[in-house]
Structure 1
Amino acid sequence: MKNIIINFSLVTALLASCSPATEKKVENTASTAVKKDAVPTSGQIENHISKADIPADFSVLVPIDLLNRKSTNTYEKYGIEFSGNCYSCDLASLSITNDKMVWTNVCDENDTFKINGFSFSIEENKTILKTSERTYILTQIDKAPVYELLVEGQKLQLNNKRISRYFTTKKTLPHFKEHDCGDFEG
């Protein structure tokens, strides 16, 4: 009788271990583990996209100013601002690469202000950069290229670095109308 009970217990245990309910639990656990390993977190996706999608032109944006509102020629309508480049020397150029924005005084490349970590999106002709304090909207308003910058949120105060409303790329800058500082003694 004792052998029959032991054999019956073993058969019951063996059948219980092979039941469909147990197999489903094992499959669910395995599939969950695979999903966690295969799908990156949203932060990883965002960082990967932002590094790949930042326009190369944004690596060096230089400030320009609206000189002749009525001109239809972009290179005469916008140009290098005399005051910020010659007199007060307080304009800031902008560099956006990977996860960093750098504001640099146009007269002193060692005078910088860095903003690390931001998210961004591109919508048609707008690039929107977001930090916890501000939103920077760069809108391409001309194919030359000319970008208009709008800063929303907390006021950005940079010592000796004034932010222009308009920017262009460094390689395009020579095409714009230029005010020569000449022998200016300001």
Structure 2
Amino acid sequence: MKNIIINFSVMIALLASCSPATEKKVDKKADSTEVKVNAIPAPSPENNTVLKSYIPVDLSTLVPIDVLNTKSTDVYEKYGIEFSGNCYSCDLASLSITKDTMIWTNVCDENDTFKIDDFSYSTEGSKTIVKTSERTYIITQIDKAPIYELVVEGKKLELNNKRVSRYFTTKKALSLFKEHDCGDFEG
């Protein structure tokens, strides 16, 4: 009987010593799973940071255009230069945005500029958002041509002798449009 009690005690001791070790192994797996779960969301903010530091190259050479033929389905006939603002009154502004500078320039006088250095920006798909203390500029690529639409929110943007257009294209793509220059106008 003494042997039975001793053997039974040893078995209970062995079972008791094995159970917590098994639980500890399970806990370690749970801990490692928790670490993996915590590590997965961490790259998301880094991806957002990468997006925030990206300004599309096209935004460095934007020239103003206007809707000329609303019924046209051909983007190169639908949009083109606004004759009055580019050729007659010369009061439109071109736009250049790089990672540290936003410059509005009169289309007829490259020395007539308005420069903004203090801004932040982010890119979300085809939309680039530039924020200053007074306004938010939302530049959306609305066609692959490339055609960009500008929406300015906040305090009214008043530039001396530089009128802001609603639509822009790149300087390089301007020649593709049906009406892309002032022709023989001498106004």
What is the match of residue 59 of structure 1? 60
- Structure 1's unaligned 5+ residue stretches are 1-44
**Deviations 1:81-139 (CA, angstroms, capped at 9, x unpaired):** 10011110011000001211000000000000001121111122211100010000001
Within 2, Cα distance between the matches of 1:137 and 1:144? 18
What is the match of residue 108 of structure 1? 109
What is the match of residue 77 of structure 2? 76
Within 1, Cα distance between the matches of 2:83 and 2:163? 13
What TM-score results when the alignment is normalised by the length of structure 1? 0.71
What TM-score results when the alignment is normalised by the length of structure 2? 0.70
2:83 partner letter: F
Report if the CA contact (8 A) 1:80-1:179 is conserved: yes
Which has more radius of gyration?
A: 2
What is the match of residue 154 of structure 2? 153
Report if the CA contact (8 A) 1:82-1:179 is conserved: no
- Structure 2's unaligned 5+ residue stretches are 1-47
Query: Identity across aligned pairs (percent)?
Result: 76
1:100 partner letter: T
Aligned residues: 141
Q: What is the Cα deviation at residue 185 of structure 1?
A: 4.6
CA RMSD of aligned residues (A): 2.0
Within 2, Cα distance between the matches of 1:94 and 1:78? 17
What is the match of residue 5 of structure 2? none
Within 2, Cα distance between the matches of 1:54 and 1:73? 28
What is the match of residue 120 of structure 1? 121
